[in-house]
A and B are shown apart, each in its own frame.
Chain A
């Protein structure tokens, strides 16, 4: 019996004598990040949300004249909006649903019993979101470029917008995951995603709404991110103040509320 022959050798490696100790924090965070990325990339629904839907919307509305997207090349309007949508899908929708079910199934509690501190878990989740966003941006930019997109503008402004947007969406995603039942989070996060996709200036220009409503919609985090990215990538603006301010307020509110109300189990 091969298993019987192998057992003593393998079990020789098991010394149960206590030798406790935590790994260095950066190593724990990297391990958790790698783990979150692997499980996320294996999850088909997640890939649909983060990659398939944005790319399909970009190709559909960029390649047809179904919508009036205003003057200029259609892709110049669409690509920044789709990038904003990608940030929302990963930082908000995906994170809210994933974390909500982790909480429901006691995974957060169980991880809380390991040496990985909660701040380390949040850091790992943030790194995971950023890594996914990098992949999304690469794919979306490649598709847009194939459609003739030639963005200009200041990369640092883009980075500032995306990071603030990520912070704002993560804050509210975690707030939802940490306070609602997992099923409620699933429904609400998807509803918010669809609503903000419709009214947040992602693919439907805000100009098509009545003016009073348009100003209010412009204060949504998705609109601020989409419009800010358009200001930079299409119009060449540097550090668009209005959108950055709106996103900063949303980010501060979301993170403070999440830190205050998040329940780990």
Chain B
């Protein structure tokens, strides 16, 4: 299931479920289907032949550096922008031509703003609820998101995190089949982040399809059934989080700075790598098997080096992400 371009591919640790098998009987299995999507702004190509599938009933996370084209992609799915090329299907429909039919079925949480500053929190949520046939109870939803005490507060006096939660509430109050969440936890404190994660998990359990963008690797690892890493307007890797991180392990330890790593490497199996960064922090990569661990500790012992914090880890999604998208800062 994992497709990775331009990077060493870790074999899937287990065969993933076929996305098609999630299809409801007689229905289309995907909430979102993008093929060869292109969007240009003047001379800049923001989205460059991007293709992806977001399965129904699943959480799909778009990961990517700033300017990778995530928000543009989402806004094309929401019908706010027209693609310059490629095809877009959302719940089997065209977001622009079939807008009337799609709007009630799709919830949208934009990256910023959109909630009028003069409105009161509860008033705005009730307004959005009243556009729907069978909405959630706005008061109960405010309560769920910890906003009851602020129901009568004008939006402009809410904190950034409170506004984010109100925006999320407005995206789901109409009981949509599919929600697009553009950086739903940006700027939230840890409590609010966890509350948001639990809500997303609850939505998924209730059968809602979710497409979200995020910068937070832990968020993608925790929430997503399917992670799509986007860079420079196209998909550079996708798969389940475990598929992307793969089975590869790494060994880390701390010791006095300046160990002779060349010498250590000569004792290790071929294909291993070792580096010290920052000083006194060591990383050994390769086939981390019991004998490698024994070799490293034996080598340290023979040099009179005491290792601290010795541990074996899997690669994280962040490692994969940095490997694929590079380390240089993006605007």
Contact = CB atoms under 8 A, between A and B. Distances in A.
Most buried by B among A15, A19, A102: A19
B291 interface: no
A23 to B, nearest CB: 5
A260 interface: no
A18 B78 contact: no
Interface stretch (A5-13, A142-150, A229-237): A5-13
Nearest to A7: B143
B177 A20 contact: yes
Interface string B90-112: 00000000001001111010101
A17 B175 contact: yes
B28 interface: no
Interface in A216-257: none
Nearest to A34: B127
A155 interface: no
A181 interface: no
Interface string B187-217: 0000000000000001101111000000000
Contact of A13 (B115, B118, B140): B140
Contacts of A31: 127, 130-131
Contacts of A102: 116
A1 interface: no
Nearest to B100: A117
Contacts of A113: 78, 80, 103, 106, 108, 110
Contacts of A39: 116, 118-119
B175 A19 contact: yes
A261 interface: no
B269 interface: no
Nearest to A110: B114
A15 B136 contact: yes
Given A22-B104, A105-B113, A114 B128 contact: yes
A106 interface: yes
B131 A115 contact: yes
Contact of B134 (A6, A21, A110, A116): A21
Given A31-B127, A35-B127, A109-B110, A17 B207 contact: yes
Interface string B114-135: 1111110001000110111110
A110 B166 CA distance: 13
A28 B130 contact: yes
Given A21-B133, A31-B131, A113-B108, A16 B175 contact: yes
Contact of B141 (A14, A21, A114): A14
Contact of B114 (A16, A20, A21, A105): A105
Contacts of B115: 107, 110
B73 to A, nearest CB: 16
A10 B145 CA distance: 12
Contact of A109 (B80, B139, B140, B177): B80
A232 to B, nearest CB: 37
A28 B131 contact: yes
A1 to B, nearest CB: 14
Interface in B305-319: none
Contacts of A15: 136, 175, 206
A32 B118 CA distance: 14
Contacts of A115: 103-104, 131-132, 174
Contact of A32 (B127, B175, B176): B127
A9 to B, nearest CB: 9
A152 interface: no
A97 B144 CA distance: 35
Most buried by B among A16, A43, A105, A116: A16
Given A32-B127, A38-B123, A17 B206 contact: yes
Contact of A35 (B108, B119, B144, B175): B119
A20 B143 contact: no
Most buried by A among B80, B118, B123, B203: B118
8 contacts: A15-B175, A18-B208, A31-B130, A31-B131, A39-B118, A110-B115, A117-B100, A265-B80
Interface of A: 6-7, 10-11, 13-23, 27-28, 31-32, 35, 38-39, 42-43, 102, 105-107, 109-110, 112-117, 265
